[in-house]
Structure 1
Amino acid sequence: MDPWTLAEPQPEPAVQSRDPLAVALANASLLSLGYLMLRRWWLAIASGLITIVLVVLLTAVVRSVWFEVVVLLWWAALIAHGWYLAGGRLHGPRQVGAGKQRLVALAVTVVVVLAIGLLRFDAARIERDVAEARRSGDCAQALAALDGRWVGHRVADAPLAARGDDTVQACELLAQARAEFGTARGGDTEALKTGFSSLAAVLAELPGHQKMVEVGLHGFVGGLPVEDSCDTAAISDWLAQRPASGDVLDRAVDVVPRIAPAALVGCGDDLMARSDWQQARARYQQLLDQYPGHELAAKAAEGVKQATQAIELANVRGLLQTSSTDVQPAYCSGPAPYSGAAPVGVPGPDRALVFGNDEYAGRLPADWRAQDAADAVLVICAGEAEYGAPVETCPYESTFAIGGYDDVTFHKIAIPVRVYEVRTGALVVDTRVEIGGASCPEFLEYTTYGYVDLGPPSEEYVAASDADVHAAFAPLIAP
């Protein structure tokens, strides 16, 4: 080339920079792509971490509209900052590939924004289905709708996701209550208390789920009464005594007047069949106290009477318990009534239980004697035999007697007796029964001491026949 020839000027190289609009659009994706376009690596990493922290807080901790505003402000800040770092001008030196940069950034941002928009739309659809389920009280429907959620819904619309989580929690508490109510149907009032606590927790901590609580409560209350009357009575007692809470749970007490009367009487009947007379009487009496005008009041009154008599009979039987009828039982010193016994003076003999002197009292006719306190009219407590009125005095040979004879006086057999009326436990007779009999037999048997014969005793009992014994006791038993 000729050195004196002037070279043609070459075009200046294009400015190697990034378009501000492209950078701003790239940052609008919340992926810090604008900083990557500017090769601000540490800034991209730091802003990306901040974005992740904000999203985690929004989806897991502060799931509220105001925090969504915070995220939006951060989004706007990323856009503005990217614009600023890229020069902040739309019109300036022409930048190579600016159109392509903008298209790429716009494409990425549109995908992200569109995805978030679609997820928010779908979250709103799910929320509509869940809201309908809340209004109808249908937990199954609500949980079925919420099963369609994934983490994207939480990121796109955290407040809606929070409301959905509340519904999940409410349904879990309602399921726990339902399980506790199932246990409570067996009369477990602790389980009943726990079930109501779960319902109360939904009302207090998870507003908007009252209808679901109503449905859960109705499911339990509508299943009353249960098959076992005593279990129903225990449930109705608890419901009646539950302190009012001023909410829908107070409606449970409305079922008590419907189920309690029949349950109380039925429970009393069941307890009577199991010989638990104290508790049976308490259940019958509870109906009379709480529902005196109820149609079952007459039956309850009869139940109180029967239970009382059963208690009295058991007590009397215990007092009459003894190892032998030749021994007086505790009843003889501390009698008690059995109001179910027949009164004294009914036609026929007043059948008696006789204790304390089997030698004579044990000879009474079978139809005069009762077999148990349940069929007894009297209890006769007999003491040891004593000498009664003299009947006749006769001489008997005696080796040591002056004149060779000793006089022997024969006495009636006197037995102290106390007679109690079983019906009232009252002492009706306190006397001595004197039994007559034959006296002065031709030969008198008495005790000698080896070869020493001290002679006959001066006093002897008459020889009483069964007829004599019957005649003596007849005024007490068969007047």
Structure 2
Amino acid sequence: MTQPPYDETEFAGSGYPGSDWPPPPAPREPREPDPFAVAAANASLLGAGYLIMGRRVLFWAAAAVTVALLWLSYRTARTWCELLLVAWWAAVVAHGWWLARRHPAAGPRRGQRVLALALTLPVLAATGWVRSDAYGIEDAVDEGRADGHCGAAVEAQERVSFRHRLVAAPVAARGDTVVEACERLDTAAGHLNGGLTGDLDALEAGFGRLGAVLGEPGNERTAAATLQEFLRQLPTDDGCLTLTVADWLRDRDGGPEVLSGPASDTAARITPGALMECGDALMRDEEWADARESYRRLLDDHPDDGRADDAREGIRKAGLALQLDRVRALVAAADSMDSGYCRKPAKYPAAPAHRKGRGGAVFVGDTEYTDKLPEEWRADTPGAALVVRAGETEAGDVVETCRYRDHEGRVGSVRFNKLAVRVKVYALRSGKLVTDRKVQMGGESCPGLLRYFGELPSRMAVTPSNADVREAFGPVVGR
């Protein structure tokens, strides 16, 4: 095969032998680094020293490690992460210095040093300022906690931002721990306040949470302040509720002195007043037995208290009220001569003394005729001097015998008897029987027209008037 003729001008400048093409560029010479500038630039933790040397792979690798360590410190907030970050900082500074010193042309470069310092100094200054601010916030948090003022501690910790958590994570985390303890104390305070309504389970939960927070170092003042805030709300407006809380505080199991001491002291301070107020409240609610017990506790446990005389008077009034209740119950149950008050008389010392012509009486039993007695002879149980029990009526003495013709025209005799009633009279003040007798009531006899059913009766009762009833019962009740 015939080859085409070789044209030398076709390859002119191509770089091949005999051509006029320029030769390929020579490899780039490594930059001539300043070891101090490289180390200073690396001290920014941005890997800028490697860029000065033209080592882009090392730059990106160092940046990736720095970001990872910062994120690890931010997430874990552990001191060892910060120490690891410091070790990494020292390593990249030393490695940059060592790597630059190996370069044959290493030496001082003014421009590189200015650039490195312009980059590193602001980074280090900003980091130092943020860490200093973080420590200042921590001091404010600690001061608030030392003063027992959770509000001040929480307010100071609210100044912590992302920058503090990024470059001073453990410092910020210590403040978070204080805030978390304060939040738990707020929860404990909520339970304690629930105890002020009489919920003893809430009170138990509140003290349990206080003890848990107190078991962690540094929380003594804030826990004590939370307890004092609760104790300052005692006594409450309800004496019996206050007494319930005071008894629980007094009887609760021991525990840290910072809790048990103030709780016991407060219980001792408020108990006497609570006993008196509770007794008075129970008296108003007519809970006489419980009121008397409250007054008695005051005298037994606090005999030298300034309210002792009032407590004695309360006991007296409660006792009288109990006696009055018993008398009323017995009077209501007296439906026969052998029941209620007649079976078991009770005294009521506050009742008025019986005086002839004065004082009222309580009438019980068969009241068919006693209901006809004058109103001024009567009295309610507290103001009555006597309790008069009337039995069933029966035939008394014969008043008169009269003759009547029955419907068949036969003549018969009918005797008219007085009405006899057995009456028991008790002095209410002493509960003693003062009279046990029968009274006889006279009345109208031998009426012109006799009404009856069936056969002509042989005996009938007189028909007493109100005056006859008064005349019969007057001597019995001293009228």
TM range (shorter): 0.7 to 0.9
8 Å contact from structure 2 (residues 38, 100) kept in 1: no
Describe the SS at the equivalent of 1:447: coil
Aligned residues: 453
Whether 1:55 and 2:63 are equivalent positions in the alignment is no
Q: Distance in 1 between matches of 2:199 and 2:469?
A: 62
Instruction: Return the TM-score normalized by structure 1.
Output: 0.75
RMSD: 4.3
Q: Report the AA paired with residue 391 of structure 1.
A: V
Partner residue, 2:17: none
1:141-152 pair list within 5 angstroms:
141-152=152-163
Alignment match, 1:160? 171
Residue 458 (structure 1) aligns with: 458
Q: Distance in 2 between matches of 1:429 and 1:128?
A: 88
Structure 2 residue 415 is the aligned partner of structure 1 residue 445: no
The 3 A distance-change label for structure 1 pair 296 and 237 is same
Q: Is the 8 A contact 1:328 1:381 kept in 2?
A: yes
Amino acid at match of 1:166: T
Query: Among 410, 419, 422, which residue is 1:413 paired with?
Result: 419
Q: Per the alignment, in what secondary structure is the counterpart of residue 383 of structure 1?
A: strand
1:320–1:329: 8 Å Cα contact kept in structure 2?
no
Cα contact 2:342–2:389 (8 A) shared by 1: no
- 1:214 matched residue in structure 2: 224
Give the Cα separation in 1 of the matches to 2:277 and 2:257. 32
Alpha-carbon separation, structure 2, partners of 1:336 and 1:105: 111
Aligned mates of 2:435, 2:76 — CA distance in 1: 91
Residue number among 367, 373, 380 corresponding to 2:376 in the alignment: 367
2:180 counterpart residue number: 169
Change (3 A) 1:46 1:201: farther
Deviation string 1:281-304 (CA, Å, 9 cap, x unpaired) is: 443344234323322123123223
**Match in the other structure for 2:84:** 70
Q: Which residue of 1 aligns with 2:438?
A: 433
The reply on whether 1:243 has 2:253 as its aligned counterpart is yes
1:288-299 matches, cutoff 5 A: 288-299=299-310
Q: Is the 8 A contact 2:404 2:414 kept in 1?
A: no
> Normalized against structure 2, the TM-score is what?
0.75
C-alpha distance in structure 2 between counterparts of 1:319 and 1:97, whole Å: 118
Flag the 1:212–1:75 CA change in 2: closer, same or farther, 3 A: same
Tell me, in whole angstroms, the C-alpha distance in 2 between the residues paired with 1:217 and 1:460.
Answer: 86
Please state how far the C-alpha of 1:108 moved relative to its aligned partner: 2.8
1:28-177 pair list within 5 angstroms: 28-34=43-49, 47-63=62-78, 65-82=79-96, 88=99, 90=101, 92-95=103-106, 100-175=111-186
- Listed as ranges, the gaps of 5+ residues in structure 2 are 1-25
Once the two structures are superposed, the pairs formed by residues 1-16 of structure 1 within 5 Å of their partners are: 14-16=29-31
Within 5 A, what are the aligned runs for 1:219-368? 219-250=229-260, 251-277=262-288, 279-314=290-325, 317=328, 331=340, 337=346, 339=348, 341-342=350-351, 345=354, 351-368=360-377
Q: Is the 8 A contact 1:395 1:405 kept in 2?
A: no
1: CA distance between counterparts of 2:407 and 2:223?
Answer: 108
Cα distance in 1, alignment partners of residues 434 and 54 from structure 2: 122
Between the aligned partners of 2:239 and 2:252, the Cα distance in structure 1 is 20
Distance 1:115 1:470 in 2: 112
Query: Structure 1 stretch 352-361 or stretch 439-448: which is displaced more?
Result: 439-448
Deviation at 1:103, TM superposition (A): 4.3
Contact 1:341 1:377 in 2 (8 A): no
Alpha-carbon distance in 1 for matches of 2:277, 2:372 = 47
Tell me, yes or no, if the aligned pair for 1:26 and 1:108 is still in contact at 8 Å.
yes
Counterparts of 1:347 and 1:293, CA distance in 2:
45
The structural deviation recorded for 1:74 is 3.1
Q: How far is the alpha carbon of 1:245 from its aligned partner?
A: 1.5
Residue in 1 aligned with 2:6? none
Cα deviation code 1:22-61 (max 9, x no counterpart): 5544443233445556676676556544433433443443
Q: Residues of 1 paired with 2:375 and 2:353: CA distance?
A: 18
Structure 2: how far apart are the matches of 1:346 and 1:114? 106
Q: CA deviation at 1:342?
A: 1.6
Ranges in structure 1 where 5+ consecutive residues have no aligned partner: 1-10
Q: CA deviation at 1:125?
A: 3.2
* Equivalent-residue separation in structure 2 for 1:319 and 1:433 (angstroms): 22
Contact map agreement 1:23 1:83 (CA 8 A) in 2: yes
Match of 2:403 among 396, 402, 419: 396
Partner secondary structure for residue 392 of structure 2: coil
